[in-house]
Structure 1
Amino acid sequence: MTDQDAYEVLYRASYRRLVLVAFAFTDDLHAAETVVSKAFVEHYRARDGLTEGDLVRAVAGRARPTAEPEPLDEIHALLLALPRDQRSTLLLARLAGLAPEEIASIVDSPLETVDALIADAELTLAVRGTPPGDVVALRDRIYREAHRPDLAPLLLHHRQRAARRRVRIGAALAVLTVLAVVPALRPGDTGEDEYQARADSGPTTTTTTPYRPYYPRSRVFTAEFVDADHGFALRARCDATPRCSRTLLVTEDGEHWSARAVPSPSGLASDGQSATLHVLGPTRLVVGDVYLNRPDTIRYFSDDSGVSWHKVTMAVERIVTAIPPDALLEAGCGDVTRDARCEQRHVTVLLPETGTRAALANPPPLDQPAPETYPAPDGSWWVSGRQHGTGRWATAVSRDAGRTWQVAVLPEFSGVAYSPLRITAAHGVTYLTAVGARPDSRNGLLAVFRSDNGGRSWRRTWHAQQAGVTLPVLGYPIVAVDGSVTVTGSQSGDVYRSVDRGVSFNRVDSSQVRAPARPTRIGYVTTTTPSYRPRGSNVVRLSTDGLTWWDLIVRE
């Protein structure tokens, strides 16, 4: 993949979400589209190492309020009646899905101010009878209606404008530059794409480029395994439309896969990447949507490996005293009321027999708890969050299926960490990574912690402020059987390993680990993402020891 191909992937993957970010400031969809398109054009030369986080900051920095925005619908009209700072902050949270810590960094305000602005905005809307779901509906509408022009004509138009500017400076140099650009045009091309023509001069006749999906035509984007024989995967297939279809792939012998139809929970299957997959046993699974986490959100449950499906909601339906075998943990937002802010985040149990949620009779005693989905190999369940009263980062671990919990506070570290923290317990040791915004990376490693006593206490082994370097990190720490720990970044090749128990990290060969990994019931799993495509679009990588990885081809 060339640098331009990688930039095209980033453009297609991020465009609509960035439009939501820009809309939070412009209140106008057309203006938001213009801001995002210009940001991608202007950052093209600096595309090496560019992340979506960099573009989020760039878009937020250049977006300006529209003088007299026309409301898109009734809910948008109500939002326009809010004070601008309340409205922008609320939309960054509810439309763009940014965490309060990210918003605080973007608007350069204390976290407490951001929380207060969101709370005030939602209180005002609630008083006026506007449920949080209406804001979600506005987000869905903008996501659907955002017009994403082809990137190549945008870049070409930018080059032509730059060439015309150079004419004023030096005719000879400009002629050479224009001659280098013009041959790239096809017969009938104007050098201006549909989007730019609409922005500059109203309706015009343009050459329409057929839709070309930025992912491979068929791509596995998530996979889960129960054991060596039983596994499930979701595959996106992109043909001639921007909306990709999804298929469930099922294996019962670890080698041969069969395809099953899978419903789309919310209909937002744009590019086929919006589904979540929760496996609850050899034949049981739940398919949901990554965008929504409300009690009334619809998901689909199957107890026969996807042959048939049943609608379930994310509401907590009962209380359990212990986590059942094959169950999973999830973070729930609010209670049975519609608390879209997720101020009352709590731990829920996804039950294998029904695919519904339950609450624990004795939940982990943390504020804003974020559970790890699966138990560790030794059967322990881990949760990160904030200590009651102090607000400090802490962990809770249970070794009796959630009946009791042991809390340990983390040593202090610099920076604002994203929630959840990432915890991996394996081979007799537990590592935790805190990731947040750094000056040169949106997903910078802030600190690494190690526990040698099962989470009773933690030691900070690595600190970005002391190390003086930024390691871009996504995914979980990979704890290997030889005692090493590896973290992976947001780009292929960003692989860093520590052989001194997390004290120092050095870049290593990325031939084994090419994408952020996550621990599952059978070990570590990675799936192919746009930045990690050398091994193919239907390949899942597995490792049981954190050292040796093998490819599993997922196709029927």
Structure 2
Amino acid sequence: MSELDSKLAALRDDLHESISPPEMAHVTARARQRTTRRRMQVAAVATVVAVSVAVPVLRALPDDQQPAKPPLPDSMTFQLDFADPDHGYALGSDCVEPDGPCTLALFATADGGRTWERRSLPDGDKRYALGDVSVLDADRVRLDRVSGQKQWARVVSDDGGRTWRAATAGPPAAPAPIPDGAWLQPVCVGEEQDDSGCRLGVGAVSRDPARVAPAPTQPPLIEPVIGRSATEGGRYWAAGVERSSGRWAISVTSDDGRTWSTTQVTLPGEPAMNDAWSVVENDGVMYTTLQGSIAKGPYGLLAVFRSTDGGVTWTNTWRATPKTVLQAMLGAPVATDDGRLLVYSAATGTYESGDGRTFTRSDRRLPGEVLWTRGGYVAKRGPHAYAISTDGLTWRDFDIR
């Protein structure tokens, strides 16, 4: 984990104690690398050629050159998510120091990242200590910001970030089945108290972006780590410590949260504080990867679990020893259309496995750290450069600019 991520994690933990509603404590933001990406947009002057019997005449049309877009700051980093293969949003943060103050900028795409439009924010260039964007669907986006005085503010947009309105957090909505394409987050359920001030469970953002509807039933986990988007097969998942046994477990639902299949698992080490668990699926085969460390050793891939029955049962196909931790693994794994599992290490590159049991160096390299979204896999190639794939095999590059 980078120094910036460590500082952001510490800030989130601090905010966790002082900000309401409780689910805001699980705000996650990613920003790791910086470099230069500039582009000037230039339109050519068009001419129409008319030919007469004696002398050719050239006639120039009016200059339709558009003002050039100002280049993005080299220091701007992005939090990126797609609601579907076409619609995505990127929240840029340009920070004076890693812990702020930061100038925020929102960008939107409706063509799979090929082009991006900058959206105006309610407070213009006002600076904040932290910003987080939640992509609820193609048109609805939610922005949470924290000022230097730890004052939290939420605004939502129903038209792709063109207009905004303040959102006042209210009580959770009534429990309801998780809708297709939902964006999940923690929500208070029941009256039982824990360290967060309430018992946390799985919730889906309702039609009112300020409210979260608990799933009809909850996985039996303490403060579950929740996959915010469904897998390729439409399954939602959570991981955490099982309440009854005190053991780590993986829970999966394939019926919109009405029932959960929970499997206890044994871990070889300690999970990372952030982004420890990832679940991906392709053609009915599911993989869970766990990142962390053994006896405070190097951070990396600790274990791989595989399921072929929709997450009802899991097999621990690979587990690390203190000497075999795959160091510096970043992001989610990739389950490809040709049946392979790919994982990315910032230190040594891409590794592949045919069954999750043995890994070898791969000739088919991932473009960078990978995020699973409702629009497919998105990999970070550089500070403003990304790639997207729906099959894990072919990647299309794009830049945010």
Residues 517, 525 of structure 1: 8 Å contact kept:
yes
**Aligned match of 1:35:** none
What is the one-letter code of the residue matched to 1:443?
Answer: Y
1:143-189 CA deviation, whole Å, 9 max, x = no partner?
xxxxxxxxxxxxxxxxxxxxxxxxxxxxxxxxxxxxxxxxxxxxxxx
Q: Give the deviation of 1:542 after TM superposition.
A: 0.7
Q: Say which of 382, 394, 401 aligns to 1:548.
A: 394
Residues 349, 365 of structure 2: 8 Å contact kept:
no
What secondary structure does 2:137 align onto? coil
Residues 220, 233 of structure 1: 8 Å contact kept:
no
**Aligned match of 2:106:** 248
Q: Give the deviation of 1:342 after TM superposition.
A: 5.9
**Aligned match of 2:182:** 327
Q: Give the deviation of 1:467 after TM superposition.
A: 6.9
What secondary structure does 1:245 align onto? strand
What is the one-letter code of the residue matched to 1:471?
Answer: Q
**Aligned match of 1:236:** 93
- Counterparts of residues 95-114 of structure 1 (less than 5 Å): 95=14
Distance 1:347 1:395 in 2: 13
Residues 369, 386 of structure 1: 8 Å contact kept:
yes
**Aligned match of 1:480:** 336
Q: Say which of 483, 499, 516 aligns to 2:353.
A: 499
Q: Give the deviation of 1:513 after TM superposition.
A: 2.4
| Overall identity of the aligned pairs, in % | 30
What is the one-letter code of the residue matched to 1:361?
Answer: P
1:322-341 CA deviation, whole Å, 9 max, x = no partner?
11344211123687999763
TM-score (norm 1): 0.54
1:301 aligns with 2:156: yes
Residues 191, 198 of structure 2: 8 Å contact kept:
no
Distance 2:226 2:327 in 1: 24
What secondary structure does 2:128 align onto? coil
Note closer, same or farther for the CA distance 1:333–1:276 as it changes in structure 2 (3 Å cut).
farther
Residues 280, 352 of structure 1: 8 Å contact kept:
no
The structure whose residues are more often strand, as a share, is 2
* The structure with more radius of gyration: 1
Residues 429, 450 of structure 1: 8 Å contact kept:
yes
Q: Which runs of 5+ in 1 are unaligned?
A: 1-8, 21-91, 98-131, 135-214
1:261 aligns with 2:143: no
Q: Give the deviation of 1:221 after TM superposition.
A: 0.9
Q: Give the deviation of 1:290 after TM superposition.
A: 8.8
Residues 316, 335 of structure 1: 8 Å contact kept:
no
Distance 1:315 1:437 in 2: 39
Residues 422, 433 of structure 1: 8 Å contact kept:
yes
1:222 aligns with 2:53: no
What is the one-letter code of the residue matched to 1:359?
Answer: P
What is the one-letter code of the residue matched to 2:349?
Answer: V
1:219-274 CA deviation, whole Å, 9 max, x = no partner?
35122223333222122346899734221112233433221123579x8735xxx3
Residues 495, 510 of structure 1: 8 Å contact kept:
no
**Aligned match of 2:40:** none
Distance 1:443 1:310 in 2: 41
1:20-41 CA deviation, whole Å, 9 max, x = no partner?
7xxxxxxxxxxxxxxxxxxxxx
**Aligned match of 2:29:** none
Which moved further from structure 2: 341-350 or 381-390? 341-350
1:72-122 CA deviation, whole Å, 9 max, x = no partner?
xxxxxxxxxxxxxxxxxxxx994498xxxxxxxxxxxxxxxxxxxxxxxxx
- Counterparts of residues 87-126 of structure 1 (less than 5 Å): 94-95=13-14
What is the one-letter code of the residue matched to 2:217?
Answer: N
Residues 222, 240 of structure 2: 8 Å contact kept:
yes
TM-score (norm 2): 0.73
Note closer, same or farther for the CA distance 1:316–1:232 as it changes in structure 2 (3 Å cut).
same
**Aligned match of 2:57:** none
- Counterparts of residues 14-413 of structure 1 (less than 5 Å): 94-95=13-14, 132-133=17-18, 217=74, 219-237=76-94, 243-254=101-112, 255-263=114-122, 269-270=128-129, 274-289=130-145, 298-313=153-168, 316-332=171-187, 341=196, 344-410=199-265, 412-413=266-267
Residues 299, 313 of structure 1: 8 Å contact kept:
yes
Residues 334, 342 of structure 1: 8 Å contact kept:
no
Distance 2:140 2:202 in 1: 21
What secondary structure does 1:277 align onto? strand
Residues 314, 357 of structure 1: 8 Å contact kept:
no
1:255-307 CA deviation, whole Å, 9 max, x = no partner?
33221123579x8735xxx332222222111122599xx9x953221101112
Q: Give the deviation of 1:483 after TM superposition.
A: 1.4
Note closer, same or farther for the CA distance 1:307–1:551 as it changes in structure 2 (3 Å cut).
same
For the aligned residue pairs, the C-alpha RMSD in angstroms reads: 3.8
**Aligned match of 1:461:** 317
Q: Give the deviation of 1:503 after TM superposition.
A: 1.0
**Aligned match of 2:292:** 436
1:468-519 CA deviation, whole Å, 9 max, x = no partner?
4443322212111111112223x3x4434233311122334585322x2121
Distance 2:191 2:153 in 1: 14
Which moved further from structure 2: 364-373 or 419-428? 419-428
Which moved further from structure 2: 391-400 or 333-342? 333-342
Residues 294, 322 of structure 2: 8 Å contact kept:
no
Q: Which has the higher contact order (CA 8 A, sep 6+)?
A: 2
What is the one-letter code of the residue matched to 1:546?
Answer: G
Residues 220, 236 of structure 1: 8 Å contact kept:
yes
- What count of residue pairs does the alignment treat as equivalent? 342
